[in-house]
Each structure stands twice: as structure tokens, then as C-alpha cells.
């Protein structure tokens, strides 16, 4: 059967339905899956690595060829979980070098703990293969800047895992605010996340600033990426207040106490006059996000609520309020259930589409190392402001960190 029509519809819910298993492969059309064109290796098989394995398999344009992790238990669990939705055998590499340099592999996914990203990248980049590097790209600005510099001279490409820009409500918000200019000139941006504490990780690396980069780098680089995209300008000044009030105050490991922040307020002034604020609270019982963008013609509000205690999927909405300037609306925004359930409410699936499109030499918009660096600059400046108790001038901050050449690039 001809498989050349890549735009034909699919009925995913029927592909594996018990009542449809009598449809043999030669008779499949709406049930026909794409044939993978690329092999990828997943380096780091924890929570995010397994999400990428699941999403790659669901998308079907690339297949997971092999895995590598320094923790045998993580690889065992990842392989067992993979077998529940794929009949493909996985290569288990004995070391990082063999995982990166297998000639059968087309691309690498680095999904290891934050503090290992830069070291692993230095081995991975020698392969010359396309690389997907999970966020944050590093735990400090010097390594992040070195990563950006390496990417500029790289014969292939590096994509950063800032997948929140692919969440349904933010895709629609960007379209309304930036392409349709429904709000006019953007003046203020307000973004918030209320959520439970960080999940458990191997060796609890995400509970310590030294191994995670700090909460505002580890988690909130996603949000600073969104704010930077909407502001369309470079930050001038960052003010922040935050600390550790509730989470992990009694957690110790190897004699070291957890020092990760669990709440923060951040205000950002941009060079074009746009002002933004971000609120984080990580001791709530359920998840919610809210984005409010105001311009000189109207206001946009995008929300997401995820009540996992009630076993309810995420519900996202978008509202445009423009008064007498034109039509206002409030809509639900969503992806198909199978896609939303695959990870990060569907955002990872569309992040994978962008990555595979780039593998196939298509022009796409995806998170670049430079954008990843700027998300870290704002986050790091905010953490410096919390530590000092004063506002951080970005020009001075960049100069102090040997990054002045990035200002107004």
C-alpha cells in the first residue's frame, strides 16, 4: 500500500483497538503508522528520558534505537516500560562514547541531570550528530555560554528542550499576541505557576542548587523563555524576592541540607519598555498556570489547570478581550487526548515534530542555544537578586559574568 501521502488522516484510537485487530497491515490505511526514518539514542533514562522515548514512539517518524544511563536500574525500568508500547529491541550501550558514536544512530537526546549536561555535551558534540539537549542547557552561565558558542560552530544543530512554548494555550497566545497583533503593542506580561514540590529524582539532585542550577534556572527557565519571546526585547533590569519556606526543609543528603527555593516573585524591565512579572509557588496541592498579556488595544489571558488529585486531565483556556476594538472570545484549547497524555500536556510531541523536521532539513522554529542562554540569564539574574536583596542591572551582570558581547547581539 502506498505510504507516500504524509498528510492523510489517522484514526489513532482504532489502531490498537481489540475489535480492529483483524485488519492486517496490507489493508491498513487510516490505521497505518508512519515508518520511522531516523534512529535516535536517549542518554539518561529517568523521567524525561522515558517521556522522550514514549513521545518518539507515538509520533513514529523516528524510533528509539538505544539507551544509555549510568544507573542500571533506570535502564531496566525504561526498557520494561518501553516494551509495553513497542515491540522493538533496544540497544543498551556500555558507555557514553559508544552511545554517541554508533553509526546506526542519526541523533542524540541528552536527558540526564542538569549538572551533567555540559560534560556529556562535550562528548556528544564530537559525533557531529544533531543533538537534543534538555533544559536547562547547563547549571551556570559560563557553561551555558560555552554551549552556545559550540553550537554556533557546530556542523549540525543543537535544540534545547524548552517545550512549554509548544503547550496549546501558549501556541495560541503567541499567534494572537505576535502574529495577529490582537492586543496591539504589548506593554505588560504577567505569568504564574502554582504547583506541588519537585518530584523525587535519582540522588535527589533537583533539591540542591549546586546540582540543579537553582529553582529559577531548573524549572522557571521555561517561563522566562515564554516571557522573552513575548517581550521581543532584551531585559534591562531584574528584581526578585523568594526563598525556601516549606519544601524539603528537613531533607539532608550526605550531610548537606536542601537549599532549593520553593517560591519567588520576579519583575523584569525590557529595553523596549515592556514590563513583566513572574510568580512561582511550589507548595500547592495541584497545578495551575496563568498568562496575562496586556497591550494598548486589549488583553489576553491563557490558563491551564491540572488537578491530578481528582485524576482529571489538564484543562486550558484562552480569552481575548479587546472591548470596542474588535471581537472578544473565550475558547478551550487542547490537543488530542493521546498526544496530551504522552507528556507535558502534548508539548513534547510537537517539540519532537520540530526536531524531526530539522533532521529532514526543513525550516522550523525551535528553541535555540541562544534562546536557552537568555532564559538562563534572566533566571540567574533573578536568583542573584534574591541573594543580594537588590535589583540586578543586566548590563553590569553580563559584564561581571564575561557575557557582555551578548548584549544587543
Q: What secondary structure does DSSP assign to 22-40, as a single string?
A: TS-GGG-STTPPPPP-EEE
The answer on 200 and 139 residing in a single domain is no
Does residue 357 lie within any of the structural domains?
A: no
Does residue 271 lie within any of the structural domains?
A: yes
Does residue 191 lie within any of the structural domains?
A: yes
The answer on 401 and 268 residing in a single domain is yes
Does residue 285 lie within any of the structural domains?
A: yes
The answer on 156 and 30 residing in a single domain is yes
Domain end (from 162, 192, 207): 162
The answer on 173 and 99 residing in a single domain is no
- 38: closest CA among 364, 358, 365? 358
* Helix (H) or strand (E) run with residue 360 in it: none
Report the pLDDT value the prediction gives residue 409, as an integer from 0 to 100: 59
The answer on 44 and 190 residing in a single domain is no
Domain end (from 97, 127, 162): 162
The answer on 149 and 267 residing in a single domain is no
Instruction: Measure Cα distances from 146 to 151, 314, 396 in Å.
Output: 9, 37, 20
The answer on 141 and 18 residing in a single domain is yes
Domain end (from 93, 127, 162): 162
Provide the greatest CA pair distance for the chain: 68
> b/e map of 249-284 (b: 16 or more CB within 10 Å)?
eeeeeeeeebbbbbbbbbbbbbeeebebbbbbbbee
Determine phi and psi for 246, rounding to 5 degrees: -130, -50
Structural domain including 393 reads 164-343+367-406
> For the chain, what is the domain count?
2
The answer on 261 and 187 residing in a single domain is yes
Does residue 172 lie within any of the structural domains?
A: yes
Cα separation, 159 vs 148, in Å, equals: 11
- Residue pair 296/210 in contact (Cβ under 8 Å)? The answer is no
Report the pLDDT value the prediction gives residue 6, as an integer from 0 to 100: 54
Does residue 353 lie within any of the structural domains?
A: no
What pLDDT digit, counting tens, does each position of 179-195 carry? 999 999 999 999 999 99
Report, as ranges of residue numbers, the positions in the chain whose pLDDT lies below 50: 1-5
What is the secondary structure of 271-311 as a DSSP string?
TTS-EEEEEEE---SSEEEEEEEEESS-EEEEEEEE-GGGT
The answer on 190 and 155 residing in a single domain is no
3-state secondary structure of 191: strand
The answer on 313 and 254 residing in a single domain is yes
3-state secondary structure of 154: coil
Instruction: Measure Cα distances from 310 to 223, 282, 305, 321 in Å.
Output: 26, 19, 12, 31
Report the pLDDT value the prediction gives residue 311, as an integer from 0 to 100: 82
Does residue 351 lie within any of the structural domains?
A: no
Residue for grid cell 485524576: 311
- 335: closest CA among 4, 2, 3, 12? 12
Does residue 354 lie within any of the structural domains?
A: no
Report the pLDDT value the prediction gives residue 2, as an integer from 0 to 100: 39
Cell of 216: 529559577
- 131: closest CA among 382, 358, 374? 358
Q: What is the CATH number of the domain that holds 32?
A: 3.40.50.720
Cell of 400: 561581571
Report the pLDDT value the prediction gives residue 15, as an integer from 0 to 100: 86
The answer on 147 and 187 residing in a single domain is no
The answer on 256 and 144 residing in a single domain is no
Amino acid at each position: 500500500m502506498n505510504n507516500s501521502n504524509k498528510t492523510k488522516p489517522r484514526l489513532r484510537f482504532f489502531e490498537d483497538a481489540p475489535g480492529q485487530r483483524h485488519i492486517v497491515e496490507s489493508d491498513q490505511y487510516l490505521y497505518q503508522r508512519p515508518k520511522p526514518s531516523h534512529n535516535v539514542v536517549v542518554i539518561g533514562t529517568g523521567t524525561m528520558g522515558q517521556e522522550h522515548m514514549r513521545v518518539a514512539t507515538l509520533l513514529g517518524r523516528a524510533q528509539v534505537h538505544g539507551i544509555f544511563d549510568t544507573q542500571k536500574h533506570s535502564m531496566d525500568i525504561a526498557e520494561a516500560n518501553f516494551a509495553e508500547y513497542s515491540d522493538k529491541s533496544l540497544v543498551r550501550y556500555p558507555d557514553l562514547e559508544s552511545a554517541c558514536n554508533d553509526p546506526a544512530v542519526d541523533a542524540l537526546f541528552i536527558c540526564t541531570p542538569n549538572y551533567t549536561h555540559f560534560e556529556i555535551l562535550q562528548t556528544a558534540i564530537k559525533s557531529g550528530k544533531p543533538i537534543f539537549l534538555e533544559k536547562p542547557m547547563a547549571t551556570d552561565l559560563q557553561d551555558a555560554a560555552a554551549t552556545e558558542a559550540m553550537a554556533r560552530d557546530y556542523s549540525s544543530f543543537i535544540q534545547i528542550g524548552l517545550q512549554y512554548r509548544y503547550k496549546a494555550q501558549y501556541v495560541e497566545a503567541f499567534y494572537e499576541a505576535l502574529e495577529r497583533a490582537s492586543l496591539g503593542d504589548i506593554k505588560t506580561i504577567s505569568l504564574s505557576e502554582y504547583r506541588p514540590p519537585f518530584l523525587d529524582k535519582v540522588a535527589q539532585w533537583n533539591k540542591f542548587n549546586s546540582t540543579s542550577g537553582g529553582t529559577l534556572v531548573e524549572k522557571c527557565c521555561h517561563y522566562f523563555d515564554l516571557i522573552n519571546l513575548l517581550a521581543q526585547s532584551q531585559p534591562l533590569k531584574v528584581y526578585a524576592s523568594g526563598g525556601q519556606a516549606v519544601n524539603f526543609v528537613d531533607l539532608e543528603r550526605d550531610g548537606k541540607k536542601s537549599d532549593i527555593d520553593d517560591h519567588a516573585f520576579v519583575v523584569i524591565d525590557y529595553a523596549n519598555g515592556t514590563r513583566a512579572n513572574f510568580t512561582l509557588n511550589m507548595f500547592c496541592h495541584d497545578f495551575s498556570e496563568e498568562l496575562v498579556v496586556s497591550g494598548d488595544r486589549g488583553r489576553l489571558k491563557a490558563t491551564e489547570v491540572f488537578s491530578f488529585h481528582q485524576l482529571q486531565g489538564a484543562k486550558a483556556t484562552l480569552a481575548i478581550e479587546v472591548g470596542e476594538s474588535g471581537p472578544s472570545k473565550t475558547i478551550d484549547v487542547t490537543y488530542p487526548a493521546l498526544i496530551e497524555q504522552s507528556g507535558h500536556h502534548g508539548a513534547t510531541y510537537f517539540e519532537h515534530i520540530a526536531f524531526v523536521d530539522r533532521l529532514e532539513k526543513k525550516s522550523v522554529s525551535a528553541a535555540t542555544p541562544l534562546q536557552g542562554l537568555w532564559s538562563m540569564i534572566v533566571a540567574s539574574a533573578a536568583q542573584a537578586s534574591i541573594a543580594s536583596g537588590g535589583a540586578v542591572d543586566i548590563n553590569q551582570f553580563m559584564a561581571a559574568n564575561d557575557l557582555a558581547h551578548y548584549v544587543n547581539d
